[in-house]
């Protein structure tokens, strides 16, 4: 293809001018929102708070291998997590599409066109020497088009798509954190219900022995039928609690199967799993402001604010002229022997400027809509910050109260054990009857039931705390260009 000096200089001037013009970007530039007031600290002294540490794999700090297996399996196989990964792929493709809008589109082609013109038409081909009515035209070349981003519409669209990709990545981290917490909750409910069930079964067995002794004494005339009825009522009431406990345990195990991306019955073997000794630790919470760095929902809200700000610029650019450049080049000849000769080259370039003069106010209405969307996103960010702090406050308060309840239940349990020891000594000495020994045993088993229930509930509250303070997210995985504070 041959370019004359005039053509080359004109093309260089045109491209240089377009490149210079693309430095203009309309619309507001994004700036991270100002820090939200997080108060002076936690609203009440919480005994469960310790110095901050790494919470990215908090479930591995509890010394429970089965919990680690369940959570790691869920993180690899859970369908919600896999859907979130697919949403990241979708958002990344949309970002790449927005990036591609800034580049020229080039296509190539070749054709052989055989045609015949009328000899009696407007062009008298039959009377023109050397001009045949039948022709075969050989053509090969390329066509290119480029919409020059004069006022930054494409760049703002890329900013928006990039921010939305980062928001989607943060949402995916939030899904992983939620699944880890739900697995731990279901596991704690499973083992806690198992402990409660065993203790309640011991209560029922003791009351059944008491009922048998009461009936024997009634047959001897030592007690009345009313005493038998009261003993039966206590046994029946305790026995009626067993189906509910079993149902809670089974429901928790079935939910584990689904969370692991499998059939609900996958983990039914865990119904008989013994409850591990589980300490209820102090929590590495840190300052209230630190929580905001670990909450994906806060980052999602901030990235959506960035995207909505870029959307204003993309809409504003529609008010200004658009410049498109079309170009084409190649070889065209009437004979295949001359197809790729230098004299067969063709070239064209077509700049096109368009400017919307009247549209009934549609563009300005779109700008107002985008500005309203930005205001919504800004308020949504503030709401996300406040909600994160509220979640953490409630979770810490509930966990602190749960620890207090566990401590009180443990004290009651130890007192029941001491009472049973005294009763066994007195029974061995013949000072009390067997039915009184059974009463002491029943009180111990009831204390064990209450302790198991309180301990399991507090373990679930522990999971809620880890979730509320952003446990399960490695901050190094946060989108690199997004502020997290």
3-state secondary structure 359-388: CCCHHHHHHHHHHHHHHHHHHHHHHHHHHH
What is the token pair recorded at 92?
A: 């990344």
d(CA 191, CA 455): 10
Alpha helices (H) along 22-78: 65-77
Is the pLDDT at 199 greater than 50, yes or no? yes
Domain boundaries, the chain: 30-103+151-321+362-477
Mean pLDDT for the stretch of residues 283-287: 69
Cα(250)–Cα(194) distance, integer angstroms: 10
Question: What size, in residues, is the chain?
Answer: 485
Q: Which spans in 260-361 are helix H?
A: 288-294, 296-316
Residue 397 above 60 pLDDT?
Answer: yes
CA nearest 88: which of 154, 164, 178? 164
Q: Is 110 helix (H, G, I), strand (E, B) or coil?
A: strand
Q: Is residue 410 classed as helix, strand or coil in its secondary structure?
A: helix
Is residue 165 within 8 A of residue 94, CB to CB? The reply is: yes
Q: What is the pLDDT of residues 78-121, one digit of tens each?
A: 999 999 999 999 999 999 999 998 899 999 998 888 877 766 66
307 in Cβ contact with 163 (< 8 Å): yes
- Give the separation between CA 315 and CA 309, rounded to whole angstroms: 10
d(CA 379, CA 372): 11
Q: Is the pLDDT of residue 12 over 60?
A: no
DSSP string, 149-202: -TTSHHHHHHHHHHHHHHHHHHHHHHHHHHHHHHHHHHHHHHHHHHHHHHHHHH
The helix or strand, by DSSP H or E, that contains position 19, with its residue range, turns out to be helix 5-21
**Per mean pLDDT, which of 14-28, 53-67, 132-146, 149-163 is the most reliable?**
149-163
Q: What value does the mean pLDDT take over residues 461-484?
A: 72
Residue-wise burial string across 472-483, b where 16 or more C-beta atoms lie within 10 A, e elsewhere: bbeeeebbeebe
Quick check: 157 and 101 in contact, CB under 8 A? yes
What are the pLDDT digits (tens) for 407-441? Answer: 999 999 999 999 999 999 999 998 898 999 999 99
**30-103+151-321+362-477 is classed CATH 3.90.226.10:** no
Spatial distance between the Cα atoms of 355 and 319, rounded to a whole number of angstroms: 8
Return the pLDDT at 472: 77
> How large is the average pLDDT for residues 53-79?
90
pLDDT band at 5 (very low <50, low <70, confident <90, very high): very low
Res 401: pLDDT: 92
Answer left, alpha or beta for residue 361, where phi above 0 means left and psi between -120 and 50 means alpha: left
Q: For all residues of the chain together, what is the average pLDDT?
A: 86
Q: Give the separation between CA 22 and CA 155, rounded to whole angstroms.
A: 10
Sign of CA dihedral 361, 362, 365, 371: negative
Instruction: Give the lowest-confidence range in 114-123, 252-261, 298-307.
Output: 114-123
With a cut of 70, say whether residue 15 has pLDDT above it. Answer: no
Q: What is the pLDDT of residues 118-132, one digit of tens each?
A: 666 666 666 666 666
Q: With contact defined as beta carbons under 8 Å apart, do 293 and 389 qualify?
A: no
CA distances from 49 to 35, 53, 188, 397 (A): 24, 11, 21, 11
- How far lies 206's CA from each of 73, 100, 203, 233, 250, in Å? 41, 76, 5, 14, 25
- DSSP secondary structure code for residue 125 in this structure: G
What is this structure's pTM?
Answer: 0.84
Classify residue 173 as exposed, middle or buried by CB count within 10 Å of its CB (0-12, 13-18, 19+). Answer: buried
At 85 the pLDDT is 96
pLDDT classification of 45: cutoffs 50, 70, 90: low
Backbone angles phi, psi at 2, to 5 degrees: -105, 125
As beta bridge partners, residue 348 has 328
Neighbour order of strands in the sheet with 134-148: 105-116, 134-148, 322-333, 345-354
Kindly state the average pLDDT of the residues 237-252. Answer: 96
């Amino acid at each position: 293809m041959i370019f004359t000096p005039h053509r080359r200089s004109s093309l260089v001037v045109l491209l240089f001018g377009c490149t210079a013009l693309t430095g203009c970007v309309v619309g507001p530039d994004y700036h991270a929102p100002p820090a939200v007031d997080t108060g002076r600290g936690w609203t009440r002294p919480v005994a469960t708070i310790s110095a901050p540490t790494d919470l990215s794999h908090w479930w591995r700090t509890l010394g429970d291998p089965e919990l680690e297996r369940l959570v790691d399996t869920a993180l690899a196989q859970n369908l919600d997590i896999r859907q979130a990964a697919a949403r990241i792929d979708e958002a990344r493709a949309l970002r790449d599409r927005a990036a591609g809008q800034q580049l020229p589109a080039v296509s190539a082609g070749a054709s052989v066109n055989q045609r015949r013109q009328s000899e009696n038409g407007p062009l008298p081909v039959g009377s023109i020497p050397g001009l045949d009515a039948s022709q075969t035209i050989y053509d090969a070349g390329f066509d290119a088009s480029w919409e020059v981003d004069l006022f930054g519409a494409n760049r703002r669209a890329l900013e928006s798509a990039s921010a939305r990709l980062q928001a989607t990545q943060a949402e995916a981290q939030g899904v992983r954190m939620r699944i880890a917490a739900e697995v731990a909750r279901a596991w704690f409910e499973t083992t806690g219900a198992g402990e409660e069930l065993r203790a309640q079964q011991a209560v029922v067995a003791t009351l059944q022995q008491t009922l048998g002794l009461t009936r024997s004494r009634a047959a001897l005339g030592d007690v009345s039928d009313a005493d038998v009825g009261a003993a039966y009522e206590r046994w029946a009431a305790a026995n009626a609690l067993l189906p509910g406990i079993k149902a809670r345990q089974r429901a928790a195990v079935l939910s584990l199967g689904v969370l692991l991306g499998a059939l609900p019955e996958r983990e039914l073997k865990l119904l008989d799993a013994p409850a591990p000794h589980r300490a209820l630790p102090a929590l590495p919470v840190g300052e209230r402001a630190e929580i905001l760095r670990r909450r994906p929902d806060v980052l999602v809200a901030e990235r959506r604010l960035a995207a909505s700000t870029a959307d204003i610029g993309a809409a504003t650019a529609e008010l200004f002229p658009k410049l498109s450049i079309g170009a084409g080049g190649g070889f065209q000849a009437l004979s295949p022997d001359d197809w790729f000769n230098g004299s067969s080259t063709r070239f064209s370039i077509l700049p096109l400027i368009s400017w919307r003069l009247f549209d009934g106010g549609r563009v300005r209405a779109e700008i107002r809509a985008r500005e309203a969307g930005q205001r919504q996103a800004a308020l949504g960010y503030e709401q996300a910050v406040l909600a994160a702090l509220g979640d953490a406050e409630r979770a810490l308060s509930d966990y602190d109260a749960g620890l207090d309840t566990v401590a009180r239940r443990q004290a009651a349990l130890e007192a029941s054990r001491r009472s049973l020891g005294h009763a066994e000594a007195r029974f061995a000495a013949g000072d009390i009857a067997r039915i009184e020994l059974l009463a002491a045993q029943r009180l111990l088993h009831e204390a064990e039931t209450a302790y198991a229930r309180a301990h399991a509930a507090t373990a679930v509250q522990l999971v809620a705390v880890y979730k509320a303070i952003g446990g399960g997210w490695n901050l190094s995985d946060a989108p690199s260009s997004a502020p997290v504070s």
